[in-house]
Amino acid sequence: MFRLAHISDVHLGPLPDVSYRDLASKRVLGYVNWQRNRRRHMHDAVIDTIVADIKANTPDHLAVTGDLVNLALDGEIEMARHWLETLGPPHDVSVVPGNHDAYVPGAFDKVCRSWAAWMSGDGVNTPVDRNAFPYLRVRGNVALIGVSTARATAPFMANGFFMEGQGDRLGKILQDTAGQGLFRVIMIHHPPVRGAVPQHKRLFGIARFNKIIRRHGADLVLHGHSHLPSLFFIGGRGVRIPAVGVAAAGQAPGGKHPAAQYNLFDIDGEKGNWRIRLTRRGLTGPSIPPSDLQTVELGAEAAMAAN
């Protein structure tokens, strides 16, 4: 059995010192939002509690699906790198970037340089950049495939983009890993599901993503962005692949979104007969340790995916 933990939308705080020059961009809107909203509901103590509970459940691997930071300030990016080091060695932690990690032009490149060890495929020694996605890591009989939808967008927009070049590379990885009989997990920040988030936050390229899934199959899709513990099935035409979201890892109880949670997947079986058990663990009230909120058996549905 392979145990995979999943968190997203950490939004590490507090913000470092912000200069007027830093705010001469879209960041001014994010800064106001942080001061009015996120600062009150996103707490390091919550993240620390969630991470401690993850470690207590001894997963084989941890997937982090983006938005580690808020405004993609240089100090935030560096702070997030140090935080990643506390999660475990890069071999055991895989990261994909979110829209907040690419908040302004140039931020994505800085994130790729700083977090490269957690966003590199097995045996890849070239620098991490936009063309390095999707990356592939194989742990046991599980293929972890990291897709990037992160791109700087206009003010008031938080869209993601899944373009043709990355789609072609994803199709090849899915085909190759299917031939090896691996359980294929796709990690992506924006949900590849229509209607999962408002239009100004949606993913451009959902149809392209689903076409690739129908053609090559997959076994599990992990995403963030919505700050909701969601479960969709995608693919169509007899191909039903679970796409699982999660509450924001830094969300304190009392906000408009569910309090912090993480997903825990127990994956067992073999090609054509995979069994997936999803347990959601999270906070249910102030100062309450994480508890099981839901347990779902996904194996019967996932077995319908193209194999």
User: Are 217 and 307 contacting, i.e. CB atoms less than 8 angstroms apart?
Assistant: yes
Supply the pLDDT for residue 44. Answer: 64
Residue spans per domain, the chain: 2-302
* CATH fold for the domain made of 2-302: Purple Acid Phosphatase; chain A, domain 2 (3.60.21)
Query: Of 1 and 16, which is predicted with more confidence?
Result: 1
Q: What is each CA distance from 293 to 46, 258, 261, 264, 282, in whole angstroms?
A: 17, 11, 9, 11, 7
| Residue 301, pLDDT score | 43
User: Residue 268 is encoded by which pair of tokens?
Assistant: 């067992």
Angle at 96 between CA 171 and CA 77, to 5 degrees: 150
Q: How far apart are CA 283 and CA 305, in angstroms?
A: 32
44 or 31, which is more confident: 44
Q: Is 185 helix (H, G, I), strand (E, B) or coil?
A: strand
Q: Does the structure show a pLDDT above 50 at 171?
A: yes
Mean pLDDT, residues 174-184 taken together? 97
Average pLDDT over residues 172-197: 97
**Average pLDDT over the chain, rounded to an integer:** 88
Residues in Cβ contact with 220 at an 8 Å cutoff, skipping those fewer than 6 apart: 183, 184, 185, 186, 241, 242, 244, 265, 267, 276, 298, 302
The model's pTM is 0.89
Q: What confidence category does residue 253 fall into, taking pLDDT thresholds of 50, 70 and 90?
A: confident
- Region 101-112 average pLDDT: 95
Q: Which two tokens stand for residue 76?
A: 């935030």
Omega before 134 cis (within 30°)? yes
